[in-house]
Structure 1
């Protein structure tokens, strides 16, 4: 019973990741600059809220407890980082080549994780393990292409990333559906 619930949780999480990839892919195709703005402003708001919470916690705590907490510094750092994300989000767009490398590395790591899943499905005797392997291979390919960065413009790269998200999401969803049989 416990294993069945764990499997359901894992399937639900996989389904949520697929839906997230689909939404991100569509939003990137429709408006990459607006999507970037929204992501960094949302991150900034979250960091600012965490910073305010840490500062409030620091000032509400007893002096001896507050002195050991580091709440003042972490609160100010979160608040400053949040303000930077909200008011200077364009900086992230300007540093896009560096972020592209980070995204490429994350995509490669994701591909390796998917490869692990495909091999596990194969070893478990699942019938459609090759679908997961196809998804892993494409994810690894997308990561390699992103790291090679052969794109002339940022707009083309955003479209490529959006299509990569959509293809990965569809393959992950198909793998999820077929692995349940």
Structure 2
């Protein structure tokens, strides 16, 4: 039981960290809507390059054979990362779609939380349901991108990310509270 409690606390702390990162990313997008997409693409490209090099080093260092795809993974990751670094504008076009999918999936996850709260007879479950609906609608808005410029969509996504991160943080704290009450 102690191991389970430790694992749950670890997951909670990880989710808190992700919520904070989401809010910081949103603030960054709000402050720099004209350049945030390009910077995010370059950051993803750099991470992919590093990941690819790590896979290549691991492949050659460990003398992996038969069934190992370390060489292919390393070359593919580094190559794709390098391509993104060289031509971030091409990937930036898809960035809003990726963000929209993230927002919609998070909204569906929030809907699951709301339904779980309802099953537990937790008060305020409907607040989570309303937030889930709002997130799904905002994600759909981003997906269909009615904005005139990339800067406008980045600003909108930034606001959504700040809201989403703050709401996730509040939800995590509420879930922790319910779990403590449930265990008593």
Sort the TM-score into its range (normalised by shorter chain): 0.7 to 0.9
Structure 2 runs not aligned, ≥5 long: 179-184
Distance verdict in 2 for CA 1:123–1:47, change over 3 Å: same
- Mapped contact 1:115–1:133 kept (Cα < 8 A): yes
Distance verdict in 2 for CA 1:135–1:68, change over 3 Å: same
Task: Determine which of 113, 129, 146 is the counterpart of 2:125.
Answer: 129
**Hey, what does 2:18 align to over in structure 1?**
17
Instruction: Give the SS at the match of 1:126.
Output: coil
User: What is the deviation of 1:54?
Assistant: 3.1
Structure 1 runs not aligned, ≥5 long: none
User: What is the CA–CA distance in structure 2 between the aligned matches of 1:136 and 1:148, rounded to whole Å?
Assistant: 19
2:1 is the counterpart of 1:5: no
Instruction: Give the SS at the match of 1:32.
Output: coil
User: What is the CA–CA distance in structure 1 between the aligned matches of 2:59 and 2:98, rounded to whole Å?
Assistant: 34
- Mapped contact 2:34–2:150 kept (Cα < 8 A): no
Q: TM-score, normalised by structure 1?
A: 0.81
- Mapped contact 2:99–2:157 kept (Cα < 8 A): no
Distance verdict in 2 for CA 1:119–1:30, change over 3 Å: same
The Cα RMSD (Å) is 2.4
**Hey, what does 1:113 align to over in structure 2?**
109
User: What is the deviation of 1:33?
Assistant: 4.2
Instruction: Give the SS at the match of 1:69.
Output: coil
CA distances 1:39-83 after superposition (whole Å, capped 9, x unpaired): 322322222223223333444455xx4465343333222221121
- Mapped contact 1:51–1:74 kept (Cα < 8 A): yes
Distance verdict in 2 for CA 1:78–1:172, change over 3 Å: closer
Q: TM-score, normalised by structure 2?
A: 0.80
Distance verdict in 2 for CA 1:45–1:144, change over 3 Å: closer
User: What is the CA–CA distance in structure 1 between the aligned matches of 2:129 and 2:154, rounded to whole Å?
Assistant: 25
User: What is the CA–CA distance in structure 1 between the aligned matches of 2:169 and 2:44, rounded to whole Å?
Assistant: 27
- Mapped contact 2:49–2:78 kept (Cα < 8 A): yes
**Hey, what does 1:35 align to over in structure 2?**
36
**Hey, what does 1:155 align to over in structure 2?**
151
Distance verdict in 2 for CA 1:41–1:155, change over 3 Å: closer
Corresponding residue pairs, total: 176
**Hey, what does 2:182 align to over in structure 1?**
none
